[in-house]
C-alpha cells in the first residue's frame, strides 16, 4: 500500500499529529484511515500518560464573548513552556475551547469534580425512573451506570463531544494536543457567564 502525501495531510488535518507519526500510523494500518486515527489516539494517550507527571505552569488564559456580549467565557490552559504557549496551534486550541464552552455550557471539567451529593441525587432519580418503568431490579445498576455516563457527557467538559468535530470528545482533543506539542497540557479551569442568569 503506497502512502501518499494527500493521505498524510488528511490524517494530519484530522488529528493534529506530526507528519512522521501520520506516515507511521497509515503504514501500520495498511492505509485504513479510521484505523490510523485509532492508532494515533492510542499513541497520543500513551504519550499523554508519560507527560502527565511534568509540571505545566505556562500557557494562556483565553477569552470569548458571544451573542453581542450576552455570553462570556474565560479558560486557563497550561503547558510546560512559554514557547509552546505562544504557538498558533496552542492558542487556537484554547480559543476553540472557549467557543465550545460558550456553546455547550459544561458545569464541571471532569466527572471527579462533581460533588458526591449531586451524583447521589442523579442516581436516586434514575433508580426511581427504572422502578416506575417496571424494569427488573437486577438491571437497575446497569441502567443507572448508563444514564450517569450520559449525564457526564452533558455536564463535564472533557466528556462532551467537541462542537467542531463531534466524532471526538474534548478529552481526545486535549490528548491530541499533548501528542502534537510533546508537552503536558492541562485545561486548568474555566468560567462561563450568561447575561441575566441566576448566581448561585
pLDDT digits 0-9 by tens, 133-147:
998 989 999 999 999
CB 44 within 8 A of CB 176: yes
The answer to whether 40 touches 23, Cβ cutoff 8 Å, is no
What mean pLDDT is predicted for residues 165-188? 92
Does the domain at 58-109+156-194 match CATH 3.30.479.20? Answer given as yes
Tell me the CATH class for 115-154: mainly alpha
Q: What is the pLDDT of residues 148-162, one digit of tens each?
A: 999 999 999 999 999
How far CA 87 is from CA of 27, 33, 74, 90, 94, in Å, comes to 29, 28, 19, 5, 11
* Residue-by-residue DSSP string for 137-158: GGGHHHHHHHHHHHHHHHHBGG
- Please report, to the nearest 10 degrees, the dihedral formed by the alpha carbons of residues 61, 65, 71, 75 taken in order: -10
CA-derived radius of gyration, the chain: 20
pLDDT band at 14 (very low <50, low <70, confident <90, very high): confident
Task: Give the confidence band of 22 by pLDDT, cuts at 50, 70, 90.
Answer: confident
The CATH superfamily assigned to 5-51 is Ubiquitin-associated (UBA) domain (1.10.8.10)
CA atoms within 13 A on the CB side of 93: 29
Let me know: does 163 contact 103? Beta carbons within 8 Å. yes
Q: Checking DSSP bridges between strand 71-79 and strand 161-162, what pairing results, if any?
A: unpaired
- Are the C-beta atoms of residues 162 and 169 closer than 8 Å to each other? yes
- Same fold: 5-51 with 58-109+156-194: no
**pTM of the complete model beyond 0.95:** no
Rounded CA-CA distance 146/162 in Å is 20
Domain coordinates in residue numbering, the chain: 5-51, 58-109+156-194, 115-154
Q: What's the rounded mean pLDDT across residues 125-135?
A: 92
Q: What is the mean pLDDT of residues 113-124?
A: 95
pLDDT recorded at residue 53:
54
Res 95 pLDDT > 90? yes
Amino acid at each position: 500500500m503506497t502512502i501518499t502525501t494527500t493521505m498524510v495531510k488528511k490524517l494530519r488535518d484530522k488529528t493534529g499529529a506530526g507528519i512522521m507519526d501520520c506516515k507511521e500510523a497509515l503504514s501500520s494500518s495498511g492505509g485504513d484511515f479510521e484505523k490510523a486515527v485509532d492508532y494515533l489516539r492510542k499513541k497520543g494517550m500513551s504519550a499523554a500518560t508519560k507527560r502527565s507527571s511534568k509540571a505545566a505552569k505556562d500557557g494562556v488564559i483565553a477569552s470569548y464573548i458571544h451573542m453581542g456580549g450576552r455570553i462570556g467565557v474565560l479558560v486557563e490552559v497550561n503547558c510546560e513552556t512559554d514557547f509552546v504557549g505562544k504557538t498558533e496551534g496552542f492558542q487556537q486550541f484554547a480559543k476553540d475551547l472557549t467557543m465550545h464552552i460558550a456553546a455547550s455550557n459544561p458545569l464541571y471539567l471532569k466527572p471527579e469534580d462533581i460533588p458526591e451529593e449531586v451524583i447521589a441525587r442523579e442516581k436516586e432519580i434514575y433508580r426511581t425512573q427504572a422502578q416506575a418503568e417496571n424494569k427488573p431490579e437486577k438491571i437497575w445498576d446497569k441502567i443507572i451506570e448508563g444514564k450517569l455516563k450520559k449525564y457526564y457527557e452533558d455536564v463535564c467538559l472533557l466528556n462532551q463531544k467537541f462542537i467542531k468535530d463531534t466524532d471526538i470528545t474534548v478529552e481526545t482533543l486535549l490528548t491530541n494536543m499533548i501528542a502534537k506539542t510533546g508537552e503536558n497540557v492541562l485545561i486548568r479551569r474555566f468560567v462561563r457567564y450568561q447575561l441575566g442568569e441566576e448566581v448561585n
